[in-house]
Amino acid sequence: MKKIKVLPKNIYIDVDGVILTRGVAPAQHLDKFLGYILKNYSVFWLTSKCNGDSKALIKYLSQFLLPTTVALLEKIKPTTFRLDKTEAIDFNRRFFLLDDELFASEVNTLKKHDNYDSWIEVNLMKNPDQLLHLINHKLCIN
Ligand SMILES: [Mg+2]
């Protein structure tokens, strides 16, 4: 059977509520999750803690996370935006946006581009295993 070539997708990820829970604790299954998305997607930061340069963010995160996790996070590409995260999204490529919360203006922009369903609302308080669930289902490329 001929294999269908699928264009790579972008993933944009937030820090609080996605990488960290309660501001300080690493999300469950974080290393497995990061390893999977870095292997199968182009991964970008999309957080107010990163503005064009991820060095300060990596340093910030390294106080909460193991060096092996930090080494994975260093592979995530930085983005720049001023007011809304959606400014940094490349709407010409398929993408997922992992965030616990968006501003109404960001939701409107996603809807305007017909990309509202690209937002994966992460809620680790409600579902601590959500990152594992995502790589087994919604983000699974097979
Ligand atoms: Mg957030």
How do residues 56-115 score in pLDDT, each as one tens digit? 999 999 999 999 999 999 999 999 999 999 999 999 999 999 999 999 999 999 999 999
Token reading at 131: 């990152």
Distance 4 CA to ligand 1 centre (A): 35
Ligand 1 center to residue 101 CA distance, Å? 5
DSSP state of 38: H
Q: Is the pLDDT of residue 7 over 90?
A: no
* Residue 90 located in a structural domain: yes
The domain of 98 spans 10-136
CATH number at residue 102: 3.40.50.1000
Asked whether the predicted pLDDT for residue 2 surpasses 90, the reply is no
Is residue 5, in this structure, part of any structural domain at all? no
Residue 85 tokens read as 């995260």
Q: Which two tokens stand for residue 23?
A: 């501001």
Distance 11 CA to ligand 1 centre (A): 15
Assigned domain for 88 exists: yes
Ligand 1: centre distance to CA 134 (Å): 17
Question: For residue 14, how far is its CA from the centre of ligand 1 (angstroms)?
Answer: 6
Specify the pTM: 0.93
61, 15 in Cβ contact below 8 A? yes
Domain count, the chain: 1
Beta-carbon contacts of residue 79 (< 8 Å; ≥ 6 apart) = 12, 44, 45, 46, 50, 52, 88
Whether the CB-CB separation of 53 and 79 falls below 8 Å is answered with: no
For residue 95, report the phi and psi dihedrals to the nearest 5 degrees: -155, 165
Tens digits of per-residue pLDDT, 29-72? 999 999 999 999 999 999 999 989 999 999 999 999 999 999 99
Residue type, 63: Q
Which residues hold their Cβ within 5 A of ligand 1, which is an ion? 14, 16-17, 100
Q: How far is CA 32 from CA 21, 89, 117, 132, in A?
A: 16, 25, 24, 8
